[in-house]
A and B are shown apart, each in its own frame.
Chain A
Amino acid sequence: MLLLNPPLVRFGSHTWTDVALLAIDRTTTRPAEEWSDAGPHPVFADAPEQRTQIRVVRDLLRDDLASHKPGDQAALTFHTSPTTSDAARRQFTIPAAVITSVTHELATARHARQTITLIALSPDGATDPITSAPAPH
């Protein structure tokens, strides 16, 4: 999932402004693949261990003194707005997201790109860590 310029991104009590993109990558950390005695192609695949990683990229034009650090955990909330209006607006919530890195790329003297990477946690291991619902107006 990729969101460009999401209008609202919140991490706990913090509101992250100037978000250029928010990307959600879902990968399997241990794929289950099996082959048979019949030929060269796999006959079974599943993803019993998965990781949901979120990258929030912000274009910073001013100082950012927030002290987010790896290990911080909070709810991450963001809205989609396909038409930059309230139509079809949806709110995505990750009840427990843990920051794994905060990095900065100094693009120019007046502009820096901050990338915050988080891992989404499931409340019980089986429930998808991301929920979505129509955004409240």
Chain B
Amino acid sequence: MPSSFDKASLFNSGPHRFRRLPSGVQTIPAVALDGVSPGTIPLGPLELIIEVRGRLVAPTDAALDALLAAIHAKLTFPALAADLIDHHGRIYENMSFVRFESADRIDRARQVTLPYTARFIRFLNT
């Protein structure tokens, strides 16, 4: 099934995969705080971070630009928080779209394509 963010089909022009970054507890070495103490200090739970990695696929450069425009329209400040739904219908609620990083080059061959990584975070204070 197609994925979506905020009910928009941002990435379905091409293949893309979902990756959940590590979960657990955010820690910091004590020495980083006072310069002398050993050990590790727990700060709190890690935020849920989902990365979408894939490739935008379009027949022309103009069509690729349209795909990018739709994505950038969702990259707002404050970050837009909405449901992120993966290929299997798994719903990640209240995810904020915070980063879209495209590859270093557009590939022009049979299709015009652009690899990318998109990052979504569920902020702790939301």
User: Which residues of A come within 8 Å of B, CB atoms?
Assistant: 32, 34-38, 43-44, 46-50, 126
A44: chain B residues at CB < 8 Å are 14-15, 55, 57, 113
Interface centre among B15, B87, B88, B108 (most CB of A within 10 A): B15
Q: Which residue of A lies closest to B88 (CB)?
A: A37
Q: By the criterion CB–CB under 8 Å, are B86 and A46 in contact?
A: no
- Is B109 part of the binding interface, using a Cβ–Cβ cutoff of 8 Å? yes
- The answer for the CA separation of A46 and B107 in the assembled complex, in Å, is 9
Q: List 5 A-B contacts (CB under 8 A).
A: A32-B55, A35-B17, A38-B87, A44-B57, A46-B111
Label chain B's interface by main secondary structure: strand
A-B contacts, CB under 8 A, total: 41
A36: chain B residues at CB < 8 Å are 15-17, 87
Q: By the criterion CB–CB under 8 Å, are B15 and A48 in contact?
A: no
Give, as a whole number of angstroms, the nearest-CB distance from A39 to chain B. Answer: 11
The 5 closest A-B pairs by CB, nearest first: A48-B107, A34-B15, A48-B109, A46-B109, A37-B87
User: Which residues of B come within 8 Å of A, CB atoms?
Assistant: 14-18, 54-55, 57, 86-88, 107-111, 113, 115
In the complex where A43-B15, A44-B57 touch, is A32 in contact with B109 (Cβ < 8 A)? yes
Q: By the criterion CB–CB under 8 Å, are A35 and B15 in contact?
A: yes
**A36-B17, A46-B107 known, 18 other contacts, Cβ within 8 Å:** A32-B107, A32-B109, A32-B115, A34-B14, A35-B17, A36-B15, A36-B87, A37-B17, A37-B88, A43-B15, A44-B14, A44-B57, A44-B113, A46-B109, A46-B113, A48-B107, A48-B108, A48-B109
Give, as a whole number of angstroms, the nearest-CB distance from B54 to chain A. Answer: 7
Give, as a whole number of angstroms, the nearest-CB distance from A71 to chain B. Answer: 27
Q: By the criterion CB–CB under 8 Å, are B113 and A32 in contact?
A: yes
B87: chain A residues at CB < 8 Å are 36-38
- The answer for the CA separation of A37 and B115 in the assembled complex, in Å, is 16
- The answer for the CA separation of A35 and B14 in the assembled complex, in Å, is 10
- The answer for the CA separation of A47 and B109 in the assembled complex, in Å, is 6
B16: chain A residues at CB < 8 Å are 36
Q: By the criterion CB–CB under 8 Å, are A126 and B15 in contact?
A: no
Give, as a whole number of angstroms, the nearest-CB distance from A21 to chain B. Answer: 29
- The answer for the CA separation of A47 and B115 in the assembled complex, in Å, is 14
- The answer for the CA separation of A44 and B54 in the assembled complex, in Å, is 10
Q: By the criterion CB–CB under 8 Å, are B54 and A34 in contact?
A: yes
- The answer for the CA separation of A32 and B14 in the assembled complex, in Å, is 12
Q: By the criterion CB–CB under 8 Å, are A48 and B86 in contact?
A: no
